[in-house]
Amino acid sequence: MPEPAPAFQYATLSQQHGAARLGMWTFLATEVLFFGGVLLAYVVYRYGYPSAFAEAARHTHIAIGAANTAILLTSSFLVAWGVEAAKQGFGRFAALLLWSAAASGLLFMALKGYEYRLELSESLFPDDGFAITGSVAGGARLFFVFYFIATALHALHVAIGIVVLAAIGARARGGAYSAAYYAPLTVAGLYWHFVDMVWIFLFALIYLPGRA
């Protein structure tokens, strides 16, 4: 396998790696602010309607949420392990790890879909047929507006991540990465860990309030 050459605009491979990594971190900063917009809505309305938010959060399915958290944390571990393995030249084993992480992502999506179905059947979609009534109805609806928008956007990110991990895994299997050339690998890893991180916060905000 010949030594990979840098793209034409770079002088060296390490300059190219530095650029790719910095670019990904910049992109992740934009993602923080993207999710930040809807998080602000959550914080403001939770401050305004504390009891309604606690009541609404009790209607979420914490068992599914917790299982999904464990699944994503594990998948992140698999990705970090896979990146390290591919760098050390264990391409085929790295592919196995990355594909397992992608499969965990699929499992996450399946559970999320099942959860959505349960919620729709319980009339928790925040339109005029909303199940929670009484004085907390408005605030609880705002909670579920946040819930559906934030989790759907997160799921979209997971879906993109699954495709990326599958593709990167295939390339790792072909021995594309080495200690000298691994930029796409770490960049994909950064993205997946970030998606994991978003979920860590969503889990705390959506499933945990109002349980005590």
Q: Does 119 bind another protein (CB under 8 A)?
A: no
What's the min distance (Å) between Cβ of 132 and another protein?
Answer: 11
Q: Does 124 bind another protein (CB under 8 A)?
A: no
Size of the site for another protein (CB under 8 A): 79
Query: Residue 77 in contact with residue 140, Cβ under 8 Å?
Result: no
The 3-state DSSP class for residue 121 equals helix
What's the min distance (Å) between Cβ of 45 and another protein?
Answer: 7
Positions 144 through 203 that interact with another protein (CB under 8 A): 145, 148-149, 186, 189-190, 193-194, 196-197, 200-201, 203
What's the min distance (Å) between Cβ of 34 and another protein?
Answer: 4
Beta strands in the chain (DSSP E): none
| Structure-block tokens of residue 5 | 């050459």
Q: Which stretch binds another protein (CB under 8 A): 114-122, 132-140, 162-170, 174-182?
A: 132-140
Distance CA 167, CA 137 (A): 45
Q: Return the sign of the alpha-carbon dihedral for residues 190, 68, 35, 166.
A: positive
CB of 49 or CB of 181, closer to another protein:
49
Distance CA 137, CA 126 (A): 10
